[in-house]
Chains A and B, each alone.
Chain A
């Protein structure tokens, strides 16, 4: 199963953009790239997903490298509520039930 590599932690200032990187050099052609985040003492929540093209939604943007071996989650203006652990996950389109979360990036947002 393809795995992802993320920095253990990152820090940002409130109202500034945040770029959270993820490496997935063994990604296969059928793997979707998903991002979830987990606020303290809560279950994870969906943020965004993509396959090849960059994606935007109300929460964030996802930039995918042309060779798909890396991606970046972009929070355009970090708020204190965005302090969480962010997980980059590969999901096989042919085996959609299996998620591998990894240990994620803990984002700290400073006021």
Chain B
């Protein structure tokens, strides 16, 4: 099992450009998440998807959109990138509540720089 995979690993954008970060998991998890981590800080939740077909805002959703394409894939889109979105982005997944829902599995991260 690959676990949670993210593409790309690194990306540099100019202000105003758009891009989509891809995330996939092969653990048959229902829930998926996008976080951002700024230098020296903890992770902050951007959006999450409790199950296929649903998405909800987290702590810092402004400037982002998400798509839960299917059970495996959850993408994060920046429509018009800003320097304040320079960060490391982590995708995570977990099982549904009532099972072993306490553990989130994280991907390796995407390091994004907006100039």
Contacts and interface: CB of A to CB of B under 8 A. Distances in A.
A103 B92 contact: no
Q: For A34, A44, A45, A97, which residue has the most chain B Cβ atoms within 10 angstroms?
A: A97
B102 to A, nearest CB: 5
A67 to B, nearest CB: 22
B50 A46 contact: no
A97 B43 contact: no
Nearest to B92: A43
Contacts of A46: 102-105
B42 A102 contact: yes
Contact of B33 (A32, A45, A87, A97): A97
A42 B58 CA distance: 22
Given A97-B31, A97-B33, A32 B107 contact: no
B74 interface: no
28 contacts: A32-B102, A36-B104, A41-B109, A42-B106, A42-B109, A43-B4, A43-B90, A43-B92, A43-B106, A43-B108, A43-B109, A44-B43, A44-B104, A45-B106, A46-B103, A49-B102, A49-B103, A96-B97, A97-B50, A97-B56, A98-B45, A98-B58, A100-B42, A100-B59, A101-B35, A101-B44, A102-B42, A104-B42
